[in-house]
């Protein structure tokens, strides 16, 4: 445990607010993010989305994540992803096989990482 690990909850809260604002601004056409929980110590994520046309919120759990920087770009690599929709879990399994869940982090989000 680092000397400043007591700051992690505050940093996580700042990241949660930024991620929620980013999603709700850029993807409002699809619905809204109603909840996000980031645990930077355990490297886990929990997200809830209220999507248009869906009768219940979509819940997404990411068992692990890792941030990296290459050539000035920031990337997030996601570990196991589980959702509250079986069909989405099957799509993830088919189209995002192990090692392929790596995404570029937008500049606006990178600023709070």
- Cβ count near 56 (within 10 Å): 10
| Two tokens, residue 55 | 């009768």
Nearest to 49 by CA among 75, 78, 19, 77: 19
- What residue ranges do the domains of the chain occupy? 5-110
3-state secondary structure of 16: helix
Below-70 pLDDT ranges, the chain: 1-7, 99, 108, 110-113
pLDDT score of 2 = 57
pLDDT score of 80 = 92
Instruction: Please give the Cα distance from 36 to 61 (Å, whole number).
Output: 10
From edge to edge, which strands make up the β-sheet containing 44-51?
A: 31-39, 44-51, 58-62, 81-83
């Amino acid at each position: 445990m680092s000397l400043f690990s007591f700051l992690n909850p505050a940093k996580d809260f700042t990241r949660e607010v930024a991620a929620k604002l980013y999603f709700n601004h850029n993807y409002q056409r699809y619905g809204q993010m109603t909840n996000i929980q980031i645990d930077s110590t355990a490297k886990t994520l929990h997200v809830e989305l209220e999507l248009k046309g869906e009768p219940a919120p979509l819940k997404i759990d990411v068992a692990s994540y890792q941030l990296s920087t290459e050539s000035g770009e920031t990337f997030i690599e996601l570990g196991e992803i589980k959702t509250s929709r079986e069909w989405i879990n099957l799509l993830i399994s088919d189209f995002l096989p192990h090692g392929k869940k790596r995404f570029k982090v937008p500049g606006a989000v990178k600023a709070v990482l």
